[in-house]
Structures are given as structure tokens and as C-alpha cells.
A and B are shown apart, each in its own frame.
Chain A
Amino acid sequence: NAGVTQTPKFRILKIGQSMTLQCTQDMNHNYMYWYRQDPGMGLKLIYYSVGAGITDKGEVPNGYNVSRSTTEDFPLRLELAAPSQTSVYFCASSFPGLQNTEAFFGQGTRLTVV
């Protein structure tokens, strides 16, 4: 049972570089999310998607882009990395029916921008 898989686990970027954080889930969940966690802080929602082709901004979307071409994949793109984007990034998915349900998280990607 893979669940939610994120790659890479660690990455160091130089200021101005670009990268894509990959996220894939094998649970056929229609909802997917990207969160970031800064030291001593909670998880902040960057972007989320309620299904293939549909994405929306969360609380802290600036500096990021997402796409959702398939149910399984939800990559997060950083176009011009800045030190403020140093954080741990978590991808999650959920399958809400008529009621809200819990989200399942990946193991995280620790990103450092220098």
C-alpha cells in the first residue's frame, strides 16, 4: 500500500532556480492538497484540487503553481526559488463523500533555498 508518495525527500536549491515537487497517490482520491510547514508553525495550505483539471488557491499560493492532469498526480512547481520558500512540503489526498473525511499525507519534502 503506497498511499501518498512524494519525491524528492530532500532538495537544496539556489535562489532563482526552479523545481517541481512530485506527488502521486494510488487510492483514487479526488481531493489533493499541498501544504507547507515552517518551523514552529502549523501546516499552511498552498493549493488544492477537487479533481482532475480543477485547482484552487489556498492560504499561501504566491510563488507556486500546480496542475492536475490525472487523478493520481498533483505536482507543485516553484518557478523562482526564494529563501522564504525554505520549508517542509507535504502532499495529501482525501476522498470526501457527503461528509468531510480525513486526509492522508505523504512523508514530506524538505526544501532548502540558499
Chain B
Amino acid sequence: DQQVKQNSPSLSVQEGRISILNCDYTNSMFDYFLWYKKYPAEGPTFLISISSIKDKNEDGRFTVFLNKSAKHLSLHIVPSQPGDSAVYFCAASSTIYNFNKFYFGSGTKLNVKP
């Protein structure tokens, strides 16, 4: 039973436009959420995180939004650049239930077209 879901396997966006990647989770005990970026033949690299005490966290072109009532988070990339083309994984963990044990979604492959 997958606790973190990314329902869009792929997304194609024009350079300069906004990319919105979505993630849903089922476990209400999750209180820490992360986005990772993965290039081919490399390991995932941490991008941005958000704690459940916030509903938004911003870092440069990347913003993560958390909607706890809907158990949904999204990653916004503005403006999108060709170098952003990668697979993006959403991950979640629970401070109380399974401290720093991460559950990952299946990933969304983002293609930013020049």
C-alpha cells in the first residue's frame, strides 16, 4: 500500500513557464515532507522540504505548498529552466511514528523544453 503517491508520471513545460508537480499522501502521521531531484545515473539530491507547521516554504525558484486537510503537497518551479529536466520524487516521514524514515512517491519526470 503506497503511502505517498505521485499520480503524474511525466510533465512537459516550456522554458520560462511554471512547473507544478503534485504529491498526495495517505498517512496522517506524516509531518515532514521533502522533494528530491534525480538526474539519470545519479543519486537523488535534496531540493526543498516543509514541516507540517507551515503551509509554504520557498527557496529561490522553488516553492513547496502543503495542504494538510487534503493531504496534498505541490512543488512549484518558476521560471522553469531546461536544467530542471529531471525526475522529481516526493517523500514523507513522521517525527513521532518513524523518525527520519522516509517514504517515497514513484516520481514525476519533468521535461522543460527550450
Contacts and interface: CB of A to CB of B under 8 A. Distances in A.
Whether A associates with B in a native complex is yes
Interface of A: 4, 31, 33, 35, 40-45, 48, 58-59, 90, 92, 94, 96, 99-108
Interface of B: 2, 4, 6, 9, 31-32, 34, 36, 41-46, 49, 51, 89, 91, 93, 95, 99-107
B71 to A, nearest CB: 17
Interface residues of chain B: helix, strand, loop or mixed (majority): strand
B46 A103 contact: yes
Nearest to A4: B43
19 contacts: A31-B100, A41-B106, A42-B105, A43-B91, A44-B104, A45-B102, A48-B101, A58-B101, A59-B103, A94-B100, A99-B32, A100-B31, A100-B32, A100-B95, A101-B100, A103-B102, A104-B46, A105-B44, A105-B45
A58 B100 CA distance: 12
Contacts of B100: 31, 94, 96, 100-101, 103
A42 B103 CA distance: 9
Contact of A100 (B43, B44, B99): B99
Contacts of A44: 104
